[in-house]
Amino acid sequence: MEHSGNGRKAAHDVHPEERRDGISKGLTNYGDRGFSLFLRKAFIKGAGYTDRALERPVIGITNTGSAFNPCHGNMPQLIEAVKRGILMAGGLPMDFPTISVHEAFSQPTSMYLRNLMSMDTEEMLRAQPMDAVVLIGGCDKTVPAQLMGAASVGLPAVQLVTGSMLTGSHRGEQVGACTDCRRYWGRFRAGEIDETEVADVNDQLVASVGTCSVAGTASTMACIAEALGMTVPGCATPPAVTADRIRVAERSGQVAVEMARAGLTLDKVLTARNFENAMRVLLAMGGSTNGIVHLAAIAGRMGYTLDLHALDAMSRSTPVLLDLKPSGDHYMEDFHAAGGMASLLHELRPLLHLDALTVTGRTLGEELDAAGPRFSQNVVRPLERPIYPQGGIAVLHGNLAPGGAIIKQSAADARLMEHEGRAVVFENIQDLADRIDDPDLDVEADDVLVLKNIGPKGAAMPEAGYLPIPRKLAAAGVKDMLRISDGRMSGTAFGTIVLHVTPEAAVGGPLAWVQSGDRIRISVAGRRIDWLVSDEELRRRQAASPVDVPQAPRGYQRLFLSSVTQADRGVDFDFLMAAESKGSIPRS
Ligand code: FES
């Protein structure tokens, strides 16, 4: 009798009904195990598979291609390469569809659908027979959704990202989504460019399929996934249309087979130390503020609670090293040419847990030792010459945000980071749209723009925290103002913008009772956000206008509104978080 190298019987020597892996895994329940397997094999043979092929480890591949998702436009090529890698390693590739979510094609918001995608991913990973899976995502919410779902299942899993888009050229200037989308739109609003030019640049901002080309949420999550140890080395940065991206896909397939054979489940990869490495990278890359929300959600699936105070302490000792827009000057393709994540991780070495395990079965330190030689480049700065002396994100607390709020200090105006001003309040997104450009709006450059009711329950947390500068001030040359909301903003945006105010207005957070004319003070150095209104006045306003928490009569919206958590818990559904607590992170 043949045996496998580990002393166990070879797969083909075990009666198919005795097996609990491969195609025999998770049989449909007909009350007759033998019949269930017989039926399954009959159906899959209808697709032309042989018994020999069906003896192999089954490796799932999530297909998130969609005509509505150009960020995943290279999905066919990636799936082909992943399959090649799986076959080379002796596995059987099986691709299957899940929901795909694109930022600009998701109404009301992509955040509304992230948890649905995570549930779809989780349940399909559980329901279908696979020994490991390659998760292919890219656009902002897809990678978090996949990592959340996979974390809950625990199956061996490799994250593969679609890769960044190429940059374009507009009248001699390099441009890319979406920092330049905002910059050009701001110039158009201010009357600096005309309709012809804004239409011209619209053709150039997204020069190929792939994800946004700056340190937006997609790039941030790609780098976080690699820092977590959830990707093969070098996965984060190759642009979508390059040979490097295809090679990474092939390698991801190989590694998934190796993980299945080794029984390398995600509880060994998604540890507190891996999450801490991911947080360091988020802070050091001047990454998207959304990265905090998504990391909190992924960590919550593993039983960890994000400690915002400890994260802020970590931020104080983690300088921004990556010179990428919007905090810096470069694009993802430049980062890749500069060595990609290996260059950044080498610089961060003293701050990382090098013993954290990765999907390859080797530690982060071992993978860094194996990475190619370092070379001179101008995208990743050395620790002693950072872009910004602290981490990109600071956490604020105070009577306006008892549960915390955040600001991307590396992309803010230093002049406004210690500031007190008069509040100009918008009750919701519609109110903002109706009045922000009103020539009679009572607003001045030193005022504080406040937008309420765009938190998780208020409006499914849209990226509307980047309030536009009122047109009359923009036309007068005002480029930045202090802006505060309970919503999010795109990682591609910049400005002095306080986000994720917790608790949100819609559930009765103090923000609900801020009125125009109140005074608000922030001190980023002191990590404070204070609303200069007495407790007595707050109680009077609360009694006069109690909050009506949003509800829905049916469907997914009902589930969302009844179960969604606040920003500090990742905006996940409460029933999807791990039942057992492993404590808070970061711990160091
Ligand atoms: Fe998909 Fe930016 S819109 S990554």
Quick one: three-class SS letters along 19-83? CCCHHHCCCCCCCCHHHHHHHHHHHHHCCCCCHHHHCCCEEEEEECCCCCCHHHCCHHHHHHHHH
Length of the chain in terms of residues written: 588
In a shared domain, residues 360 and 498: no
Domain presence at residue 509: yes
In a shared domain, residues 227 and 146: yes
What is the Cα–Cα distance from 384 to 444, expressed in whole angstroms? 39
In a shared domain, residues 67 and 198: no
Q: Which residue has the tokens 């990428």?
A: 324
* CATH number of the CATH domain containing 240: 3.40.50.2300
Domain presence at residue 108: yes
Atom of ligand 1 nearest to the CA of 490: 2
With a cut of 50, which residues of the chain have pLDDT below it? 1-7
pLDDT of residue 189: 86
Domain presence at residue 352: yes
In a shared domain, residues 189 and 146: no
pLDDT of residue 394: 94
* Contact 102 CB / ligand 1 (< 6 Å): yes
* Count of Cβ atoms closer than 10 Å to residue 415 Cβ: 10
Q: Where are the alpha helices (DSSP H) in 211-242?
A: 217-228
* Contact 211 CB / ligand 1 (< 6 Å): yes
Domain presence at residue 1: no
In a shared domain, residues 480 and 421: yes
Atom of ligand 1 nearest to the CA of 104: 3
Environment class of 29 (CB within 10 Å of its CB; exposed 0-12, middle 13-18, buried 19+):
exposed
Q: Domain span at residue 193? A: 168-202
pLDDT of residue 12: 59
Q: How far is the CA of 482 from the centre of ligand 1 (A)?
A: 26
103, 117, 488: residue to mutate for ligand 1 pocket, most atoms within 8 A of CB:
103
Atom of ligand 1 nearest to the CA of 177: 2
Domain presence at residue 377: no
In a shared domain, residues 467 and 525: yes
* CATH number of the CATH domain containing 397: 3.50.30.80
* Contact 216 CB / ligand 1 (< 6 Å): yes
Task: For the chain, give the longest Cα–Cα distance.
Answer: 87
Main-chain phi, psi angles of 168, to 5 degrees: -110, -175
In a shared domain, residues 131 and 246: yes
pLDDT of residue 178: 85
Beta carbons of 163 and 447 less than 8 angstroms apart: no
pLDDT of residue 3: 42
Domain presence at residue 251: yes
Domain presence at residue 434: yes
Q: Is 192 left (phi over 0), alpha (psi -120 to 50) or beta?
A: alpha
In a shared domain, residues 212 and 191: no
Q: How far is the CA of 4 from the centre of ligand 1 (A)?
A: 45
In a shared domain, residues 333 and 409: no
In a shared domain, residues 152 and 173: no
In a shared domain, residues 252 and 308: yes
Look at the alpha carbons of 127, 133, 134, 135 in this order and tell me if their dihedral is positive or negative: positive
- What's the structural domain count of the chain? 3
Q: Which residues contact 358 (CB under 8 A, 6 or more apart)?
A: 229, 230, 233, 269, 364, 367
pLDDT of residue 246: 98
Atom of ligand 1 nearest to the CA of 71: 1
Q: Which residues contact 261 (CB under 8 A, 6 or more apart)?
A: 57
209, 212, 220, 332: residue to mutate for ligand 1 pocket, most atoms within 8 A of CB:
212
pLDDT of residue 410: 86
Domain presence at residue 469: yes
Q: Report the nearest-CA residue for atom 3 of ligand 1.
A: 103
Q: How far is the CA of 33 from the centre of ligand 1 (A)?
A: 45
In a shared domain, residues 172 and 150: no
Q: Which residues lie across from 401 on neighbouring strands? A: 398
